[in-house]
């Protein structure tokens, strides 16, 4: 079975695709606890930084590297090694395994377990989905999950959340285009606040999320 790209995108990056993304906040829960994110404006700033300077940018580059070199185990090793905390490592490992398992079962084309962006990149290549399109939709998925976290714990209203998501689409497209022009040697980030929040999250006494 080889569904058209639009159908794959709709399935893989929808909240209904069972990778367990709803259970993880990438440290945002800790940032809310510490008062670093407290309203719509600070949530927008947090997500923008994560997408352009942190996890979003790095994992888009890794996704495209995996698309280009699906048989290279070094890409998966690099994706695992770059995780800033134990919780983030568990997040990408467990979601990657779930994505591989569900996608293989649903579409009948084997996808090996790997850190999530690597598994998505390999699956995109196998199904003929262009690398940049996959990266752009992947970034929208990250943004949507972080906005969903904000709805639940800041909180912000659903209309405001929808407007925020819409405003982030051009950023997702720009980061995906930059990632397509990059390679693993360009990996690196400047989102230390998010990395530190992911490290400190495991010390938080009351938690809704696993990271």
Rounded distance, CA 177 to CA 36, Å?
30
Give the structural domain span for 94.
24-203
pLDDT tens digits, 2-38: 555 767 777 888 777 899 999 999 999 999 999 999 9
Quick one: what percent of the chain has pLDDT higher than 70? Answer: 98
For residue 103, the model assigns a pLDDT of 93
Question: Tell me, what CATH number does 114's domain have?
Answer: 1.10.4190.10
The domain tally of the chain equals 1
Of 9-18, 109-118, 125-134, 167-176, the one with minimum mean pLDDT is 9-18
- Which is nearest to 116 in space by CA: 183, 29, 26? 26
Residue 52, pLDDT > 80, answer: yes
Rounded distance, CA 5 to CA 70, Å?
18
Residue 108, pLDDT > 90, answer: no
Residue 3 in any domain: the answer is no
Read off the pTM: 0.95
Residue 9 in any domain: the answer is no
Residue 4 in any domain: the answer is no
Residue 10 in any domain: the answer is no
Rounded distance, CA 118 to CA 76, Å?
6
pLDDT tens digits, 157-188: 999 999 999 999 999 999 999 999 999 999 98
Residue 8 in any domain: the answer is no
Rounded distance, CA 145 to CA 27, Å?
12
Rounded distance, CA 74 to CA 15, Å?
29
Residue 58 and residue 191 in contact, taking contact as beta carbons nearer than 8 Å: no
Length in residues, the chain: 211
Residue 210 in any domain: the answer is no
For residue 1, the model assigns a pLDDT of 44
Residue 165 in any domain: the answer is yes
Residue 54 in any domain: the answer is yes
């Amino acid at each position: 079975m080889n569904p058209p790209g639009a159908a794959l995108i709709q399935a893989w990056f929808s909240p209904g695709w069972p990778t367990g993304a709803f259970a993880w906040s990438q440290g945002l829960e800790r940032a809310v606890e510490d008062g670093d994110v407290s309203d719509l404006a600070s949530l927008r700033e947090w997500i923008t930084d994560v997408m352009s300077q942190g996890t979003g940018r790095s994992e888009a580059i890794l996704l495209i590297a995996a698309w280009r070199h699906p048989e290279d185990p070094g890409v998966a090793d690099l994706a695992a090694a770059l995780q800033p905390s134990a919780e983030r490592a568990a997040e990408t490992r467990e979601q990657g395994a779930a994505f591989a398992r569900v996608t293989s079962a649903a579409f009948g084309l084997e996808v090996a377990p790997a850190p999530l962006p690597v598994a998505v990149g390999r699956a995109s290549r196998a199904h003929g989905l262009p690398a940049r399109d996959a990266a752009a939709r992947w970034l929208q998925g990250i943004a949507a999950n972080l906005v969903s976290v904000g709805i639940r714990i800041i909180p912000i209203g659903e209309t405001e959340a929808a407007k925020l998501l819409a405003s982030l689409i051009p950023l997702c497209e720009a980061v995906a285009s930059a990632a397509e022009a990059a390679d693993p040697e360009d990996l690196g980030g400047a989102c230390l606040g998010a990395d530190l929040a992911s490290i400190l999250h495991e010390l938080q006494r009351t938690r809704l999320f696993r990271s």
